[in-house]
Structure formats: C-alpha cells, structure tokens
Structure 1
Amino acid sequence: MPAAEVAEPISTAAMKLRTLSKTHVRPRKPVGRRECQLITFDLPYVAFFYNQKLLLYKAASATGDAGFDDAVRRLTEGLEIALEEFHQLAGKLGKDEDGVFKVEYDDEMAGVEVLAAAADDVEVADLVVEEGGSKLKELVPYNGILNVEGLHRPLLAVQITRLRDGIVLGCAFNHAVLDGSSTWHFMSSWAEICRGAQSISVPPFLDRTKARNTRVQLNLSPPGDSTSSNGSDADPPLREKIFKFSESAVDKIKTLLNANPSDGAKPFSTFQSLSTHLWLAVTRARRLKPEDVTVFTVFADCRKRVDPPMPEAYFGNLIQAIFTGTAAGLLAANPPEFSAGLIQKAIEAHDAKAIDARNTEWESNPKIFQFKDAGVNCVAVGSSPRFKVYEVDFGWGGPESVRSGGNNRFDGMVYLYQGKSGGRSIDVEISLEAEAMGRLEKDKEFLMDG
C-alpha cells in the first residue's frame, strides 16, 4: 500500500436529484441596519467565483422523510442563531456614493439561500471516491457564479441533500466577503449551535477597517451572463483527484528534506516540505522544458503578519498570494532543498512591510484578477490542514469527507485539508491537465511508494 492513497472514482453519470424546498434564512433576532466597507484584502476576489465546500456525512438518523426533515430543521434553526453574529453572510454587496464596495445588511433582506434536495439512489461511499465530476457539481449551489453577483444574490447559499445513508452539505460563500479561516470559523460556530450551544463561543471580529482603512473605488458591475464559465472551451481538460498522505508519509517527507541542513539554515516546516514535494512532482508530471518558468503560489493568512496583528476571529479576507518561481531545469538539477529554500524565503519575506507595500501598490492602480492568474505553470496552494474540518459536527458526527466544489479550479490548483485519520495526515486535492495527472498518479516518488 503506497503511503499516499489514491481515491478511485466511480461513474459520474448524472444522479436523480429532486428539489424538495427552497427558502431564505435570516438571523433569528433583529440586527438592524449594518454596513461594512470591503478593504484592499477583499477586493481582488470580486472577480473570482463563489468559494464552494462540500461536507459528506454518513448519518442514517438523518435520512428518510422524518429524519431528513429533522436534520433540515436543526440546520436551519442553528443557522438563524449563527447569523446573529455572522450577519454579514445574510447581507448583499453594495456600493456607496463613491463606488466603494461594502457589505450591506438590514432585517428586511432575503438572507441566506437554503435549498433541500434528495438523491436517494446515491450513497456516501459513492461520493467519497468521486473525483469531482457531475455528481459533486450537482450537490453544491452557485456553480460558475462570480462574486460580483453578490450585488443581487445572497452572499451564502446552502444545499442540503439527502442521500440513501447520509447527507451532503454544500455551501457557496462569496469570496469577496471571507477567506478560508473565516469560512471554517463560521462552519464550526454553526455546528456548535446545532449541537445545543446557546451562543457562539468565539464571536467574529467584524471591523475590517482595523486591518486596512483605504477606500478603493472599483468600476465593476455584474456580468450580463449570470452563469459565467470557470474556463473556456480552448482550455485543456482538467482532472481532479485527492491524494491522501498519512501521518507517517508527511513525517517522512519532512524528515528527508531536513536530513542535510545547511549551516545556519532554518528547518523546513511541514507545509514547506509538502509544498516542495508537490511542486517538484507536478513539474515532473508536466514534462516542462528546462527553460520553462514554473511558479509556486500560496494564499497565506496574514492575520498575524499585519501590524498590528489581527485576531484569529477576524472575519473577512486577510490573505495574500505569495509567489516564487524559477526555471524547471533548476528545480530538476538541484536537490529538493533548493526548491524548499525558495518557498521558505518567499514566505518569510512576506512580513508587515511587504504586505503594506503590496496593498499600497495595488491601491494606486487597482487590478482585478481572474481566479487562474496565479502564475505560469503554477502550483497554487489554498486552504490549510490547520482548519479543523473533520470537527464540524452538527449533531450526527464529523464528516466522512470534505471537498472543494468546481469553482475557482485551474491547472495546478491545490487544496490542502486535514486528513480524516487525524494527526498530521493531510489530504491533497489537485486539479491538473489530464495527461499530467495520469503521470502524477504513477509517480512512485510522489506517492512515497517504497
């Protein structure tokens, strides 16, 4: 058995999905009218797509008509309470008189869109090994919807789908409003309420202007086509796959990389070690020419990097993309420590001064990027194994699997998740051009096979 297990897909034939109900959920108690300016950390994501997450639960008690109705009621009532603190998710995007984007909320707004559906011919086990084809796409809302459409759409949409032996919770979050840390803070808080807590243990910190208070005008409007595509017909076909690295495999990768330390060099972290492992393997799989440039990109949490530091409970986007690149031939010709050193140096250099300089430069000439502008021949890492995704328990146990939806995927996009087995295990969800993925699946060095 290879140290990195490869989940094999089943047929992606379209499932029989029935819509049962559709409603909108607001905070249970009146919140009043609130507004919150979007800041420089938020605005680059306006032209990305809604960020999608799927949580698969095996819960026989939540299936069948009565059990599922109870589950939907529990989730809906818990959401009403959670939104009292996270009321921004029940609002809409707006613009002030100067054209500055903001989140607007008042008690008369529609709230969070919640759809209940049934796919009674599908089991949780079928979806756990699904690569990411048509079945998963049907289980999460707002496919191909841009964040700028939050001007007239809810900022959070939820789809609760009954399976034969469980539930899928599909969520689409407007990425201009929050990042991964805030997403999982909200999800864990919602689950906490559903398990019986009377209030959220860690309320969100909602004042974004404490992190940056520069007003930036953007001249953007929702596109005419409300179902924009994630890619064009000319793009090569992508495949998505999860590679499961056990705790022992992760430790081995880190140990091997740190076996020959240079004088005065800092040890490479688990993240830096696994990132190096991925960058080298994907570069091999792409069969790049020696002179081809390849870029490693990480969307780094800046809560503790900014000055003054922001609390972990800061709600919004407080991430920035960190880039480093080199020629593919240099990666191949040098030991792995060379690649790891590039990554480590780029991450360590991204301090408060560098963050401020990046923001100031962008504010002087705002550019709206597309989701796939992460660099040429890139490996771009999002999400984090630090997020306790398998502890999101709504009252019927933790999820069997946690996945990203199809939005914001491109050749080289990687999502890292905590492994279900716990400890230091990590699930690596990769999107790659199909031929490169085929070679990666057979790369014994990458799989840690022997």
Structure 2
Amino acid sequence: MAVSYKGSYTVKPVEPTWTGPLSLSEWDQIGTITHVPTIYFYQPPFQNRLIRDTIIRTLKDSLSCALVHFYPLAGRLRWIGQGRLELVCNAAGVQFIEAESQRKLDSFGDFSPSSEYEYLIPCVDYTVPIQELPLLLVQVTMFQCGGISLSFTISHAVVDGQSALHFISEWARIARGEPLAVSPFLDRKLLRAGDAPALSRPLLDHNEFNHPPLLIGQTNNIEERKKKTTVAMIKLTKSQVDKLKNMATNDGKSLNSTGRPYSRYETVTAHIWRCACKARGHKPEQPTALGVCVDSRSRMQPPLPPGYFGNATLDVIAVSSSGEVISRPLGYAASKIRKAIMTVSDEYVRSGIEFLKRQPDLTKFQDLHALGGDDGPFYGNPNIGVVSWLTLPMYGLDFGWGREVYMGPGTHDFDGDSLILPSHDDDDDGSLVVALCLQVSHMEAFKNHFYQDII
C-alpha cells in the first residue's frame, strides 16, 4: 500500500514536568517489554485541507497537554544491569507521524489486520539503543476518501492495556475540551518498585515463571519461532458463545468446584486451547500450556487506586496434555483455566513480586523476540496465550469528530498470541471476536475445528 509520510514530529509536554529516574515494578519488566500497537479508523468527511490541518493541530496540542499528566510516557527507558530497566522521566517527548494514502476506507473490507497495517502503524526500530526509543509513537494517516486512521504504539514495559487505554481516553477528553475523568496514579511503590528483596518471606509456587513446554523431541523453540505466521479475526455470535458456555458448564459440573457457570472468557479460551491442540496435530502425550493474563488491580488488598498507571497484570498458566484437552469435555479445559485465575490473590501477587526480586537476572522472563533474542517466554506451538479485552474501554474514542468505525489490534506475528474482544459492530449484542496468530500451516485447520466443534 502506498503511503506518503508528510512529517514526523517530537511532541513534548506543554508544561514543565517532574524529571528524574522512576523505578519500574517487576511486573513492568517481564513478558512483553516491546511496543504494542492498536489502530482506530474514522469515517469521512475529512477531505477538506483546512479540516485536516485542524485535526492534526488538535491532536498534537491535546497530546502535549495530556503528557503533562502522563509525563512518564514522554520519558525513556534504560538498562541498569541484571536484565532490569529503569524509566527516566526527562520530557524527551513522543513521536507523532503524519501520513497520507490514496486508498479508501471501504477497500479495507472488515478491517482484519493484514500486512498493509504495517504502513499505517509506526514502526519501532529496535536497532536503536533503548534509551533513545520513544515510549509512545502515534501515526495519523489521511485517506483519499476523507477517512483517517489513528494508530498508537506504546511500550509494554511502561503500561499494560488498562493503563494504555486510560491514557488514550483522557487524551481524547482533552482534545474535546473536557477535564480529566481520572488522574493517573504514578507511584509504583505500591508494587514495591525499587525495593530490595525481603529474603525471609516464604514464596508460593509460581509455575508461570517456568519455561513453557516444548514440542516432544525438541530442546528449544528456535525453529518454531522461525515459522511463518498469519493472523485471523474469527467471529462468534452470542448464540455460539452461549452454546459453548452451556457445553462447558453442563459437561464439566463435576470439575466446577465453585458452582458458578463458566464465564465467556473461560469458555471461549478453553475452546481456543482445544482447537489449537487439534490443529497442530499434537500427540496425545504432548504437554501444552495456556497463558492467562489476569489484572491484579482489584485483587490486591487494598485494591490499587483508580488510575494506577503501569503494569498490574500478570500471567498464570494452565497446563495439561493435548490428549486430555481434546478428549475430555470442554469443561475440563475451562476448569483448568478457572483454577489458574483463582490463584491470583494479594498474597500470590506479592509472592510473585518477591520471587522476581530474588532473581539475579530478569532476561529469561522477558520476551525479547522483537529485540532479536530467542530466549524468554514463548507461547507458540505447543502452547498458546489468550488475553481478554472484554472489559477494557476500547470503543467510542472520540477526539471531537465522532467515534471510530473500527478499532482493533495492530499487527502481531507471534505464534499462539491471541485476544478476545467484544464485537465492534454492536457493543452490547454479546458477540465476540477472536484475534488469533498461528503458524500458516495450522490456521485453516484451526478455523475448521473452531466452528465444527460448536454443536
């Protein structure tokens, strides 16, 4: 797709902000520490040059104002040894890119992520030293039809999805001339950022920090990482979701110790896990792990303050054999997922922090794939990770010209990386979308199992 880049600017806070080093929590420094993209599309009419210039000016001015409140995003990361990072608040600014394309919005069809998104989303050059990389990159692309796309690429070492969307929504409020709804809570000391380990504290078992299973007969996952992947947006109607929930709940009553019906997330994630095992053609004895991302904000005692700005999510894992996931009722996989989620308590979170603080080096807990490394966690074959965006305030982002016509994840090319989102077509109708990345050789089989197994 032809995209012409009209300008790249550094946007800094409009007012002086606090400067100095800010300690990151252990949760900030593990898992994905690179940038995560999202993209929004807005309908015409924005053909008029004056309107377009006003949009660009409004976005840049309001971003500059938003960075006064969210000033860590205008800083830079730096390595401080032992695989650990520190955030330097220095108001160095964020990157803002202006671009144009002769494409029309209707040529994108249902907006499913494709290789063309690479031209609409800022590219992060990880050959540049990390202390020089912006933590936030923004790109506005104007299309011939008058539509626009607005994309964000935000460092996951600084914020999780909840915090990223908090920032974006407050930026939009400022663009509309409104005050902040919730100020960011910037003190990460609540998660013991910068504190020394307390060696006397006993630790719980944390299987999530073990390396996920490998394919039988392999000693590493390097070859699996090299295989070509593809992304699909797979839709589930409310009726299909309800059928899956009934299957999981009715067939797995003996496994459900809580008595509560399985949630949409537990059910659909169990279904994804089972279909992935089938599509990948595993041997029955093949070990497989499912990574579950849990938000700890409300699970802490006391809960983290509203607007906590940072990473407060952690991964826990459910482990089984592919044979059991496939052959046993759907409720079996759902029960494994629920058990993993229920382990996340205040004590568990604090124990996990303590475990990481005692590690001599955090590198092995970081996914360095985008940085050129082959070590670290990997939820590719035979494993999978499923992140829920079901409760995140993703939709309705209005900078003063109405809400988007589509919002979704940007390009992601990690085998086994998946998201569950509410359908954008009708926020309240109960339908869902699974954004899934798998190896090309497995995707069609996955799609077939995904729908054929819903009875």
Give, in whole Å, the separation in 1 of the partners of 2:313 and 2:296.
5
Matched, 1:428 2:399: no
How many aligned positions are there?
Answer: 414
Matched, 1:363 2:357: yes
Structure 1 residues 214, 143: CA separation in 2 closer, same or farther (over 3 Å shift)?
Answer: closer
Q: By how many angstroms is 1:75 displaced? A: 1.2
Give, in whole Å, the separation in 1 of the partners of 2:322 and 2:83.
43
Give, in whole Å, the separation in 2 of the partners of 1:101 and 1:435.
37
Structure 1 residues 97, 48: CA separation in 2 closer, same or farther (over 3 Å shift)?
Answer: closer
Q: By how many angstroms is 1:280 displaced? A: 1.2
Q: Give the SS at the match of 2:193.
A: coil
Which residue of structure 1 aligns with residue 17 of structure 2? 31
Amino acid at match of 2:185: F
More moved, 258-267 vs 280-289: 258-267
For residues 31-110 of structure 1, the aligned pairs below 5 Å read 31-45=17-31, 48-60=33-45, 62-94=46-78, 101-106=85-90, 109-110=91-92
Amino acid at match of 2:38: K
Q: By how many angstroms is 1:191 displaced? A: 1.2
Whether the 8 Å CA contact 2:5–2:98 is kept in 1: the answer is yes
Matched, 1:194 2:200: no
Deviations 1:232-290 (A, max 9, x none): 89711111011122333323322332235337533211211111121112222112111
Q: Give the SS at the match of 2:27.
A: coil
Which residue of structure 2 aligns with residue 3 of structure 1? none
Q: By how many angstroms is 1:214 displaced? A: 4.2
Which residue of structure 2 aligns with residue 116 of structure 1? 98
Matched, 1:125 2:106: yes
Q: Which runs of 5+ in 2 are unaligned?
A: 198-221, 370-376
Whether the 8 Å CA contact 1:296–1:378 is kept in 2: the answer is yes
Which residue of structure 2 aligns with residue 348 of structure 1? 342
Which residue of structure 2 aligns with residue 140 of structure 1? 121
Q: By how many angstroms is 1:57 displaced? A: 1.5
Whether the 8 Å CA contact 1:294–1:325 is kept in 2: the answer is yes
Q: Give the SS at the match of 2:309.
A: coil
Structure 1 residues 447, 404: CA separation in 2 closer, same or farther (over 3 Å shift)?
Answer: farther
Q: Give the SS at the match of 1:391.
A: coil
Query: Percent identity over the alignment?
Result: 26
For residues 240-259 of structure 1, the aligned pairs below 5 Å read 240-259=231-250
Which residue of structure 1 aligns with residue 289 of structure 2? 295
Give, in whole Å, the separation in 1 of the partners of 2:235 and 2:404.
16
Which residue of structure 1 aligns with residue 260 of structure 2? 266
Matched, 1:324 2:318: yes
Whether the 8 Å CA contact 1:137–1:143 is kept in 2: the answer is no
State the TM-score, normalizing by the size of structure 2.
0.84
Whether the 8 Å CA contact 1:89–1:155 is kept in 2: the answer is yes
Deviations 1:135-154 (A, max 9, x none): 101111134638x9541121
Deviations 1:68-113 (A, max 9, x none): 212111211221221111111111124679996332224xx43111
Which residue of structure 1 aligns with residue 193 of structure 2? 213
Which residue of structure 2 aligns with residue 22 of structure 1? 8
More moved, 148-157 vs 326-335: 148-157
Q: Which runs of 5+ in 1 are unaligned?
A: 1-14, 218-230
Structure 1 residues 131, 435: CA separation in 2 closer, same or farther (over 3 Å shift)?
Answer: farther
Give, in whole Å, the separation in 2 of the partners of 1:69 and 1:280.
50
Q: By how many angstroms is 1:63 displaced? A: 3.3
Structure 1 residues 208, 444: CA separation in 2 closer, same or farther (over 3 Å shift)?
Answer: closer
More moved, 88-97 vs 429-438: 88-97
Whether the 8 Å CA contact 1:150–1:174 is kept in 2: the answer is no
